[in-house]
Amino acid sequence: MTQELITISPIDGREVVRRPYASEAQIARALADAQAAQLGWQALGVEARGRIVSEAVDRFVASKDEIARAITIQMGRPLRYTPGEVAGFEARARHMIAIAGDALAPIQVPAQTGFTRFISREPIGVALTIAPWNYPLLTAVNSIVAALMAGNAVILKHSDQTPLCAEFIERAFREAGAPKGVFQYLHANHDIAQRLIRAPEIGYVSFTGSVRGGRAVEEGAAGRFIGVGLELGGNDPAYVRADAKIDHAVETLVDGAYFNSGQSCCGIQRIYVARSRYDDFVERAAALTRRYVLGDPLHADTTLGPVVRARAAAEIRDIVDEAVSAGARNLMDSSHFDKASKNSPYVAPALLTQVDHRMRVMSDECFGPVVGIMAVDSDEEAIALMNDSPYGLTAAAFTQDEEAALRIGRQVRTGTFFMNRCDYLDPALAWTGVKNSGRGVSLSAVGYEQLTQAKSFHLRSV
């Protein structure tokens, strides 16, 4: 197995990063440093930790342009959008800092004469965050800031596709004066990641990635009795009711399907439209999709960049071809998108009609700019189809009837249910999934529960 991390840009196939993987000595030192630093970090208290973490966020955001360009070069999202990920990192971090005091406060129980009783939230110790390339900042920040604010030390293992993001985050914490060992990163292959998961110093693992990767994390942690947070795949549905504002639904769902070249676990892949609105919706969605510009993501007019690598692009094309062979119709002509090429990471968006749930595009995750659209005759049919999936990360309904949306949402098995929006994380709300979309929670006050352990105090006066 190679001893080096090599990042190839999907833009043009150039090598853009080369780093050695962590040696066993570096791994042992990082684990020891994290464990040694954690108790002192915990002792600082929430307010002092918050000042340091806030300063790190300030330092990080000050490098927005540098970081945004690095994300584009490493994974291919258009440069017009990557500054937004830095802004999202900041928003989530600042929210988790702001709520930390209340979220981590001792839980009080009813008073009892002669006794002092409460439940404290104690840090776990050292948390390991394993982050993916598709949203390299947003996936990482979900666990990093809460773990640090809770008094844990953190080790970050980032994707080989976006290693510079780990280095940028570490630089910000170092410049902010974080104590040595409190936040570290290690460049690691799969074997090293398993070594870290099994390390006795690690008390919690946060993983964002594929279902297969999630299984590997669970297997690595088996028998250790530690917490594992898994944010895995999605095949997320949306339902456009007859009373929906169709222009808003089209604009929102086309963006939800194709933003980041469809490489989003909570992107929209399945759309169910009330039959009375189906033809209108499809016509408008197709017209909007044809306006996308597939090209070099460093160019200002590009709205759709390459997917992460040519191998991923080939898999996406296979899923579309399978659907068409089974009777689907692709309303997008790939020749309309000049940059699309069968031997490259540049994939034309696909908008598929005449689809059904026997097709892979409607039953499994397709990490690319592909969406299938079906007509439905009732809320009940839409709910049944939305639930007909091994995944359950997010789901959305487009309607002007909030009561109907709540009724539908209560019946859909999903981690987040939206009305009139999609493909979004609100840091005040729990980010979670059901079925093969994983388990555990990040963000919100509930997210702090994953990164702490309850400790009961039962004091008797005599």
- pLDDT the model gives residue 1: 53
Strand partners, 116: 459
Q: What is the mean pLDDT of residues 399-403?
A: 98
Tell me the pLDDT tens digit for each residue of 269-279: 999 999 999 99
Residue 2, pLDDT > 80, answer no
Closest CA relative to residue 12, chosen from 306, 360, 208, 348:
306
Residue 15 and residue 160 in contact, taking contact as beta carbons nearer than 8 Å: no
3 state SS for the chain: CCCEEEEECCCCCCEEEEEECCCHHHHHHHHHHHHHHHHHHHHHCHHHHHHHHHHHHHHHHHCHHHHHHHHHHHHCCCCCCHHHHHHHHHHHHHHHHHHHHHHCCCEECCCECCEEEEEEEEECCEEEEECCCCCCCHHHHHHHHHHHHCCCEEEEECCCCCHHHHHHHHHHHHHCCCCCCCEEECCCCHHHHHHHHHCCCCCEEEEECCHHHHHHHHHHHCCCCCEEEEECCCCEEEEECCCCCHHHHHHHHHHHHHHHHHCCCCCEEEEEEEHHHHHHHHHHHHHHHCCCCECCCCCCCCCECCCCCHHHHHHHHHHHHHHHHCCCEECCCHHHCCCCCCCCCCCCCEEEECCCCCCHHHHCCCCCCEEEEEEECCHHHHHHHHHCCCEECEEEEECCCHHHHHHHHHHCCCCEEEECCCCCCCCCCCEECEECCEECEECHHHHHHHCEEEEEEEEECC
Q: What is the pLDDT of residue 358?
A: 96
pLDDT > 90 fraction of the chain, expressed in percent and rounded: 99
195-234, pLDDT tens digit by residue?
A: 999 999 999 999 999 999 999 999 999 999 999 999 999 9
Give the pair of three-digit tokens for residue 238: 């949306």
Single-letter amino acid code for the residue at 193: A
Is the CB of residue 444 less than 8 Å from the CB of residue 427?
yes
**What is the residue whose two structure tokens read 């408008």?**
284
Burial 292-304 (b: 16+ CB within 10 A, else e): bbbbbbbeeebbb
> Which amino acids are annotated catalytic?
231
Q: 């539908």: which residue's tokens?
A: 408
Cα angle 324, 328, 332; round to 5: 80
- What integer is the mean pLDDT of 366-393? 98
What's the rounded mean pLDDT across residues 373-377?
A: 98
Predicted local confidence at residue 254, as pLDDT: 98
pLDDT at 23: 97
pLDDT of 238 over the 70 cut: yes
CA distance 120 to 306: 48
40: amino acid identity, one letter: G
Residues 230 and 130: beta-carbon distance below 8 Å = no
What value does the mean pLDDT of the chain take?
Answer: 97
CA distances from residue 243 to 246, 405, 407 in whole angstroms, order as listed: 8, 11, 15
Going along the chain from its start, the domains and CATH numbers come out as 4-232+437-460 (3.40.605.10), 236-427 (3.40.309.10)
**What confidence score (pLDDT) does residue 299 get?**
97
Q: Is the pLDDT confidence value at 84 over 90?
A: yes
pLDDT at 436: 97
Look at residues 380, 429, 393 and name the one whose alpha carbon lies nearest to residue 269. Answer: 393
Give the model's confidence band at 165: pLDDT under 50 very low, under 70 low, under 90 confident, else very high: very high
Mean pLDDT for the stretch of residues 290-306: 97
pLDDT for the residue 5: 97
Count Cβ atoms below 10 Å from residue 14 Cβ, excluding itself: 10
Query: Cα angle at 155 between 84 and 98, to 5 degrees?
Result: 50
Q: What six digits make up the tokens of 98?
A: 């702001």
The Cα–Cα gap between 365 and 411 comes to: 22
Phi, psi of 204, deg, nearest 5: -160, 145
- The CA-to-CA distance between both ends of the chain, in Å, stands at 65
Integer Cα distance of 251 and 248 in angstroms:
5
pLDDT at 400: 98
CB 307 within 8 A of CB 261: yes
* Tens digit of each residue's pLDDT (9 = 90 or more) over 28-52: 999 999 999 999 999 999 999 999 9
Phi, psi of 269 (to 5 degrees): -120, -20
* Count, residues in the chain: 462
Say what the pLDDT of residue 293 is: 98
Residue 437: pLDDT band with limits 50, 70, 90: very high
CA 50 – CA 67 distance, rounded (Å): 23
Whole-model pTM: value is: 0.96
| Identity of the amino acid at 30 | A
Average of pLDDT values for 19-23? 98
